[in-house]
Homo-oligomer: A and B are copies of this chain.
């Protein structure tokens, strides 16, 4: 039994889901795993997400040390997000999920 971030975990699956779960987090993180992206680029690439929600998730991921936020002192402002070395470990999990999802959709989905 472990405690992390103020919560108790009996099973390790739970913490993984708490970090990657929800409607958007895994998606945001996976795209950042492909390349460094600006805030606005992320909003375009993740279809339909609002600024508010995107901001929240980016903050969480940064707080967990999985991504890094780099601010360029320019006008207009530029902010780039990228994954950390700690994030790269987590990205391997996402890669497995992505591969399974691809095979699954290939087998059971309808191409449109």
Number of interface residues of A (CB under 8 A): 43
Tell me if A75 counts as interface (CB < 8 A to partner B). Answer: no
Extra A-B contacts (8), CB below 8 Å, given A9-B109, A15-B104: A3-B112, A12-B105, A13-B97, A14-B101, A15-B101, A15-B105, A16-B97, A17-B21
Q: Contact at A101–B13, with CB atoms within 8 Å?
A: yes
- Count copies of this chain in the complex: 2
Q: Which of B13, B22, B100 sits near A27, CB closer than 8 Å?
A: B13
Offer 15 A-B interface pairs, CB within 8 angstroms, sorted by A: A1-B111, A2-B106, A2-B109, A3-B109, A9-B109, A11-B101, A12-B98, A13-B27, A13-B98, A15-B109, A16-B101, A20-B97, A21-B21, A93-B97, A93-B100
